[in-house]
Amino acid sequence: FPGGDIGTLSVAGTINDIAVMGAEPLALALGIVMEDGLDQETLDKVMSSISEMSNKTEVPIMTGDTKVVEKGAIDQLMVTTACVGIRSKALDTNISVIKKNRDFQERWIRDSNLRHGDKIIVSGTMGDHGIAVLSFREGYGFESDIVSDVQPLNGMIKTAMMIGGIVSMKDPTRGGLANTLNEFSEKSVVGIVIEEEMIPLDPSVRSACEMLGLDPLEIGNEGKVVIGVVAEKADEVLECLRDTPEGKQAAMIGEASKDIKGVV
């Protein structure tokens, strides 16, 4: 797909799942299942992407396994990744800043940590990955303008945590931004007020969604993060994100509120 492949997606996605908890990714495990007769060029391309992502993030692949199955049992290739993470200095710094602003007993960043007054930040444009993949699969032709946002975010997240005050984080993959915000609201038992006009959207993604009758806020992303941060540190965290290559289009889009239920 435009902007990446299954190798890029598997490594970046797994690393991001660890990073949004506040942990530092330490090592990867890799499993590959290949269909008998898989083209060597396809395998080489995927393995090259995996190696590139591992080197870029400085998260080594420490173990792995391969299997070959009969032709037709799968569609070419399956990649499975798992990641081990460790507690980081950045996480401890982040939590110490939270505690200066409110009572906070958690040891990790969780979806359930959002409280009244916390600000909501997204690290960039929404819907890029889902539309890029859809266009590529269905032949709509949008891929000349739209590429997947797939990328590892552990470096950007670590930098933001050194500013501190981040209470919740999640990468808005399946179900997109809308699903992520609803999970925040349900698990934290607090309402969320969103200023929809503040949500960053690539013009090409907006046009594609209008043409196809899709809601860009319900489309998956693979290189973005939604952040809940205490109000006192929100502006600093936002500026920090905008100073990184991955977060240059970051925006503050709303806040948590005890005065409503759900997401509005």
Give pLDDT tens digits along the chain (264 positions).
Answer: 889 999 999 999 999 999 999 999 999 999 999 999 999 999 999 999 999 999 999 999 999 999 999 999 999 999 999 999 999 999 999 999 999 999 999 999 999 999 999 999 999 999 999 999 998 888 777 656 789 999 999 999 999 999 999 999 999 999 999 999 999 999 999 999 999 999 999 999 999 999 999 999 999 999 999 999 999 999 999 999 999 999 999 999 999 999 999 998
Distances (CA, A) of 78 to 9, 60, 120: 12, 20, 35
The answer to whether position 181 is within a domain reads yes
Domain hosting 169: range is: 6-257
CA torsion angle for 172, 145, 157, 151 (degrees, to 10)? 90
- AA identity, residue 130: G
For the domain that residue 116 is a member of, what is the CATH number? 3.90.650.10
- Within a domain: residue 164? yes
Domain count, the chain: 1
Instruction: Decide if 251 is inside a domain.
Output: yes
pTM confidence score: 0.94
Cα–Cα distances in angstroms (integers) from residue 136 to residues 15, 131, 217, in the given order: 25, 8, 20
CA distance 19 to 27: 12
Residue 112 falls within a domain, yes or no? yes
